[in-house]
Amino acid sequence: MKIAIAGGGIAGTAAGYLLSSQGHEVTIFEQAQHCGPIGAGILIQPIGQSVLKSLGIYEEIYQQSAQLNFIEALKHSGKRLVQLEYQRLRTDLYGLGVHRGRLFSALLTLAKQGGVVVQEDTRIVAYHLSESGVSLELESNDQTEPFDFLIATDGARSGLRLASGIVHHSVEYAYGALWTTGVCTAVDDRLFQVVEGTKKLAGLLPIGNRECSFFWGLTANQFDRFQQQGVDVWKSEVLRLCPQAEELVARINSLEELTFTTYRSVSMKSWSAERIVFLGDAAHPTSPHLGQGANLALEDAWAFAKCLKQETDFRTACLLYESLRKNKIRFYQHITRWLTPFFQSDGIVKGWGRDVTLPVMCQVPVLREQMLKTLCGFKTGWLQSKVGER
Ligand SMILES: Cc1cc2nc3c(=O)[nH]c(=O)nc-3n(C[C@H](O)[C@H](O)[C@H](O)COP(=O)(O)OP(=O)(O)OC[C@H]3O[C@@H](n4cnc5c(N)ncnc54)[C@H](O)[C@@H]3O)c2cc1C
């Protein structure tokens, strides 16, 4: 089949490679002028690692990542809030902290080597259905030839989601994050976070090469205020909460060197319609507090390719895909939506409740096991067993 993919991010490149290797003719349309290695650090969980293994790029990514044995969150007082060690679930488990750019470069190379055509600097603004297929309307006012179907992997702010007319519910969070990456040797074996109530959050995610991805939670209004007050006010506030970030923060000379991102959570009634299917963040963006977005995007790509191999008719493949993925995605959407205000929101009650319950939950074996399974991406583990079979 002739397949168009809207958006060459993690889900788009992974799906492109998998479908091309099944013999389909795949074109990725990417709005960026050049597909480059940009982005923050991401935590690839054991489930995401399984997909990388099945794509054949795990070793390459592993060599360029940091192996993380646990996640740790402290209160500003230094008291421990969370400590979850992967090995407590299984001795061979760990997280991989990786620069999104490195993961993306490996996926893009794979897709191109697999015969996928990547059309950069091409923004899709709409799509049109006809007897002969689905054509894409581009920002340049051109219209593409018809494709058999369209895979929408255009990310959290997907324009195709709206264009599809599929009913969806969207929540914008007031809080987002400022983030950057740089050399930081204070933390190298764990995802490290410090919180003060629910209004202050700082974190360091090691990503290999002695580097960390640093993030600082705040609202757009707070970001505006820091821009007026200047970078030094921001730096002193950061170092008061998270002195571990000093090496990295010391090199920042202006807030322009950081990227500000806000989050949204969207649930769609269905992930497919006539000749279109949504994967990755385009289908189910969440806040990054549970660190699952890229993992779910990789799994989506893998699962959809598997479904299209089994059911050669597009519509039937979409229905199979939805039935297989629904429970897991809904679980991660709910838990992330529930968890987010306990880490970033206004008010004091949630922070207080979190500070009392989380340390206890980490100590109770049965609860700790469930938390670790959730973190690893093992809840509703259909894919886990299927990837293992390959
Ligand atoms: C600060 C931060 C930290 C995060 N940390 C983690 C983490 O630790 N672990 C984790 O698993 N996830 C994390 N995530 C989430 C993760 O980055 C995303 O879930 C993941 O990138 C989703 O992949 P995707 O391919 O669906 O979308 P994206 O990677 O966003 O790709 C979408 C692509 O579509 C392109 N595009 C958009 N619109 C159009 C258009 N109209 N036409 C053509 N192209 C278009 C974009 O340019 C982009 O290349 C984090 C996210 C943020 C913001």
pLDDT digits (tens, 9 = 90+) for 220-260: 899 999 999 999 999 999 999 999 999 999 999 999 999 99
Nearest ligand 1 atom to the CA of 154 is 34
| pLDDT at 38 exceeding the cut of 80 | no
Give the pLDDT confidence score for residue 381 in this predicted structure: 46
43 close to ligand 1 (CB < 6 Angstrom): yes
Distance 13 CA to ligand 1 centre (A): 12
Give the pLDDT confidence score for residue 390 in this predicted structure: 39
Convert the pLDDT of each residue in 306-318 to its tens digit: 999 999 899 999 9
158 backbone dihedrals φ, ψ, rounded to 5°: -45, 120
Give the pLDDT confidence score for residue 386 in this predicted structure: 52
6 close to ligand 1 (CB < 6 Angstrom): yes
Convert the pLDDT of each residue in 87-146 to its tens digit: 999 999 999 999 999 999 999 999 999 999 999 999 999 999 999 999 999 999 999 999
Distance 94 CA to ligand 1 centre (A): 23
| 325/48 Cα distance (integer angstroms) | 15
CATH topology for 2-170+263-389? FAD/NAD(P)-binding domain (3.50.50)
Q: Average per-residue pLDDT in the chain? A: 93
Q: Where are the domains of the chain?
A: 2-170+263-389
Query: Ligand 1, residues 136, 137, 153, 271: which to mutate, most atoms within 8 A of Cβ?
Result: 153
Convert the pLDDT of each residue in 78-94 to its tens digit: 999 999 999 999 999 99
Convert the pLDDT of each residue in 156-206 to its tens digit: 999 999 999 999 999 999 889 999 999 999 999 999 999 998 889 999 999
40 close to ligand 1 (CB < 6 Angstrom): yes
Nearest ligand 1 atom to the CA of 215 is 1
Give the pLDDT confidence score for residue 379 in this predicted structure: 85
| 181/208 Cα distance (integer angstroms) | 11
178 close to ligand 1 (CB < 6 Angstrom): no
Give the pLDDT confidence score for residue 35 in this predicted structure: 72
| pLDDT at 384 exceeding the cut of 70 | no
